[in-house]
Amino acid sequence: GNSVTQMEGPVTLSEEAFLTINCTYTATGYPSLFWYVQYPGEGLQLLLKATKADDKGSNKGFEATYRKETTSFHLEKGSVQVSDSAVYFCALIFYTGTASKLTFGTGTRLQVTL
């Protein structure tokens, strides 16, 4: 079946540090890949996406590249801020014939300190 594996958190970084959150997936076919972010007390927000191999998604300084050869979609940011503290979810979407379903990883909590 389809699944997503993320590195466990929490990840604690100082402000302006480099961030990497690893994500690998298992899927039949070629799913689209997403990173969602969940700030405290809020719903899931789409952070970035990539729909085919070698695509790079980017938003708000975050980047992730769809690597088919390693089935990975690692999230990176060059310089994190305290406001980036949140839970980050890697996800894939695939069409079952009746619906396009999102499958999520377990999430990685990021804590950024001054």
Contact status: 105 vs another protein (CB under 8 A): yes
Candidates 12, 20, 100, 113: give the one binding another protein (CB under 8 A): 100
Candidates 1, 29, 40, 43: give the one binding another protein (CB under 8 A): 43
Q: Do 66 and 58 form a contact (C-beta atoms < 8 A)? A: no
Candidates 21, 64, 89, 112: give the one binding another protein (CB under 8 A): 89
Contact status: 99 vs another protein (CB under 8 A): yes
Query: How far apart are CB 79 and another protein at their closest, in Å?
Result: 26
Half-sphere exposure in the Cβ direction for 82 (13 Å, CA): 2
Backbone torsion region of residue 83, taken as left when φ is above 0, otherwise alpha when ψ lies between -120 and 50, otherwise beta: alpha
